[in-house]
Chains A and B, each alone.
Chain A
Amino acid sequence: MRLLLLPALLLLSVAACSADETPTPAAPSPSITETKDPFPDVTKDGDAIALLLSFEPKDRAAIVEPALFLPGIDYCKALQLDPIDRRCAQEYVIDGSKTKVTFPLAKGVKLLGVGTGEPECIGDMTEGAKCSVSREYMSDLADARSPVHVTIRNGQLTKIAELYRP
């Protein structure tokens, strides 16, 4: 709706500009401010950071909460927080979107974790861990509402990778 409104307003303003001589009272200019949602969009295929809230392999489903998992300074930039905010100095900030989304698990979903912390398993803060882990391990992550990196294809989770927290 907003997308339709904007061209309409632009057309109106062009029309107002082309109207000669007739003075028109100045109308308040529309102020349309786009506030970008900082949380990942999980309605489309792609990759996202989320909190793993539930992992139910028997039901072939998982519940996630789109989240931010960022170094404090980047978190404050993303949310345009005042730099004196204590979170800006944190090594990383985890912030859930308060939105729960249930996904089916794709057949052969990759389950990755840091395991016992071997360097080759840790991965990074954007792509997540690298080593295969068990379903029980993933359930434990869900019990702890752990941050994970998920990959969504055709509306299904094809990868859940633990995010290492230093």
Chain B
Amino acid sequence: MRILALATAVLMLAAGCADADRDPVADAVVPPSRPPATPASPGPKLTIDSPNGLKGPVGALIPTGLHDPQGDEYVIYGITGGGPRSPKDFGFAIGFREPKNKVTADDSLTEWVGSPSAPGFHPMNGQKELGDGSVQPAYGYYAGTPATITVQEAGRPIQAHLARWSHDPTITVFWFDPADVHDDDRWAQLAAYDASGNRLPDGRILRM
């Protein structure tokens, strides 16, 4: 069942990245579970298993390639509602696929100052060590289409994994593999760059 669900998620991602051939960044940003180049078929309608009034998922689930100790893969997906802003405003949540076409929302983020689509970074969620010993990755979104996003950890650059949001490809979701992170208390200089290495607007950098 889990394999079937994962395959569905991968197919949905393929639908979201259908224009990857036109986007030179896409190859670099597709997460490790690269979607097959087969036509996507619409998957089952998913619902969020959340008591917080979150609606969605909006767009395809984004597989991160990161798993908890039980082997479940973290997925990131678009949401609406549940925040202090207009229900039309979007945000993102991280969670897991569950049976019966549900997806958990273990944690979510929304912009609460200005437009959620304003260019640049928006408040992101930091890496969290959970009670079961697993580590939820730091993740966030960037309004724009950077080629790379990096953060400096005590002077050592760490590169984020990127994926365009299928619902709106001008939005880029990013996350950091906990295996790359040694001490996120020493993070500085979160930055986005285009393919030529030019720094893109910062927007609102804030780590929750």
Say whether A1 faces chain B, with CB atoms less than 8 Å apart: no
Tell me the bound Cα distance from A80 to B102 in angstroms: 44
Enumerate chain A residues within 8 angstroms of B126, measured Cβ to Cβ.
Answer: 86
Contact B187 A84 (CB under 8 A): yes
Tell me the bound Cα distance from A85 to B151 in angstroms: 11
Enumerate chain B residues within 8 angstroms of A88, measured Cβ to Cβ.
Answer: 206-207
Tell me the bound Cα distance from A82 to B190 in angstroms: 9
Say whether A61 faces chain B, with CB atoms less than 8 Å apart: no
Size class of B's contact patch? 10 to 19
Contact B205 A83 (CB under 8 A): yes
Tell me, rounded to whole Å, the shortest Cβ–Cβ distance linking B111 to chain A: 13
Tell me the bound Cα distance from A106 to B26 in angstroms: 69
Tell me, rounded to whole Å, the shortest Cβ–Cβ distance linking B114 to chain A: 14
Task: Name A57-96 residues within 8 Å CB distance of B.
Answer: 73, 82-86, 88-89
Flag B111-150 by CB within 8 Å of A: 1 or 0 each: 0000000000001001000000000000000000000000
Contact A84 B205 (CB under 8 A): yes
Say whether B3 faces chain A, with CB atoms less than 8 Å apart: no
Say whether B185 faces chain A, with CB atoms less than 8 Å apart: yes
- Chain A residue at smallest Cβ distance from B205: A83
Contact B185 A86 (CB under 8 A): yes
Enumerate chain A residues within 8 angstroms of B205, measured Cβ to Cβ.
Answer: 83-84
Tell me the bound Cα distance from A88 to B207 in angstroms: 8
Say whether B208 faces chain A, with CB atoms less than 8 Å apart: yes
Size class of A's contact patch? under 10
Tell me, rounded to whole Å, the shortest Cβ–Cβ distance linking A14 to chain B: 40
> Beyond A89-B207, A89-B208, is A84–B123 a contact (Cβ under 8 Å)?
no
Contact B151 A89 (CB under 8 A): no
Q: How many A-B residue pairs have CB under 8 A?
A: 27
Tell me, rounded to whole Å, the shortest Cβ–Cβ distance linking B189 to chain A: 6
Contact A84 B151 (CB under 8 A): yes
Enumerate chain B residues within 8 angstroms of A86, measured Cβ to Cβ.
Answer: 126, 185, 207
Enumerate chain A residues within 8 angstroms of B202, measured Cβ to Cβ.
Answer: 83
Tell me, rounded to whole Å, the shortest Cβ–Cβ distance linking A82 to chain B: 4
Enumerate chain A residues within 8 angstroms of B189, measured Cβ to Cβ.
Answer: 82, 84
Tell me the bound Cα distance from A84 to B123 in angstroms: 9
Flag B188-208 by CB within 8 Å of A: 1 or 0 each: 111000000000001001111
Flag A83-125 by CB within 8 Å of B: 1 or 0 each: 1111011000000000000000000000000000000000000
Tell me the bound Cα distance from A84 to B158 in angstroms: 14
- Chain B residue at smallest Cβ distance from A83: B205
Tell me the bound Cα distance from A54 to B202 in angstroms: 44
- Chain A residue at smallest Cβ distance from B202: A83
Q: Which residues of B contact A (CB under 8 A)?
A: 123, 126, 151, 185, 187-190, 202, 205-208
Q: Which residues of A contact B (CB under 8 A)?
A: 73, 82-86, 88-89
CB<8 Å pairs between A and B, sample of 22: A73-B206, A82-B187, A82-B188, A82-B189, A83-B190, A83-B202, A83-B206, A84-B151, A84-B188, A84-B189, A84-B190, A84-B205, A84-B207, A85-B188, A85-B207, A86-B126, A86-B185, A88-B207, A89-B123, A89-B206, A89-B207, A89-B208
10 additional A-B pairs beyond A85-B188, A85-B207, A86-B185, beta carbons within 8 Å, are A73-B206, A82-B188, A83-B206, A84-B188, A84-B189, A84-B205, A84-B207, A86-B207, A89-B207, A89-B208
